[in-house]
Structure 1
């Protein structure tokens, strides 16, 4: 039986130190960490490696549930994997311990709140963008492709794949401007 830690922050400018120290104090012998969004499981190599590596009797420790996932679907998927392997999940800052019925219930309640928080944040962001657009302040990101260059190259007989390669963009972006 071993105790493993997992730490995550969403952006590259955030610091993992506080989580790593808490996981060390919790007795984690190995700590995997990454800077990636918690709203999806794809692209989280360290978590995937850890989930593949854990075996019966091991314990996975996180600081808070939202460090593991931000949706109930993803949390349920992760916990189901852990349960199938006989691995317990614990959190240092929340009374989560999936080895007990009360711990499982608390885990599920916190998961619902984490997903709710994510949905509220998305809603506020969309409201802010709509308000900025109404004021004429927000125009979206600047185009990464110059339509005139695409059309010029096409007029010279350069194919869409070659145009995309020269401009460093996806071929689908070139086709959008050629339609």
Structure 2
């Protein structure tokens, strides 16, 4: 979308989080649009960067949103640490690594990665990772066809 905008255009987004991941990214996108002469209109909070006030508000809201996210992640990490101390948090059970031997055997026998995925209920990315880490030679081998 950013490549297609032209001077005088206005980009409308429904929510700020649909435009940028964090304050830095928001400022980069905002500066890019400003450099091309494009205004940004964020509908749910009524900010339009065509005005100096709109630019200020966008920067402030972006910083606050990043702060809130960082605080939430900090509280989450504290909660997990406390739960681990109490023995109540074990984390997710590893699934793909526990099936490494089966994945390698199936690939060696010519089973497609899609077939392995269906058979072992693993994602394709996990299958490729197992092969790449344990038997990279199979990635270029005809046994590893899809």
For the aligned pair, the TM-score class normalised by the smaller chain equals 0.5 to 0.7
Larger fraction in helix: 2
Whose radius of gyration is greater, 1 or 2? 2
Q: Is 1:64 paired with 2:15?
A: yes
Inter-partner Cα distance in structure 1 for 2:92 and 2:37: 47
When the two chains are superposed, the root-mean-square deviation of aligned CA atoms in Å is 2.8
Aligned to 2:43: 92
TM-score for both structures, normalised by structure 1: 0.55
* CA deviation string 1:82-107 (max 9, x = no partner): 11221100122324211111111111
Greater than 6 Å deviation, 4+ residue runs:
none
Check conservation: 1:95, 1:106, Cα contact below 8 A.
Answer: no
Q: Is 1:118 paired with 2:73?
A: no
Check conservation: 1:70, 1:111, Cα contact below 8 A.
Answer: no
Check conservation: 1:70, 1:114, Cα contact below 8 A.
Answer: no
Inter-partner Cα distance in structure 1 for 2:40 and 2:12: 6
Aligned residues: 118
Aligned to 1:146: 98
TM-score for both structures, normalised by structure 2: 0.66
Larger fraction in strand: 1
Inter-partner Cα distance in structure 2 for 1:153 and 1:93: 48
Gaps of 5+ in 2: 121-126, 136-146
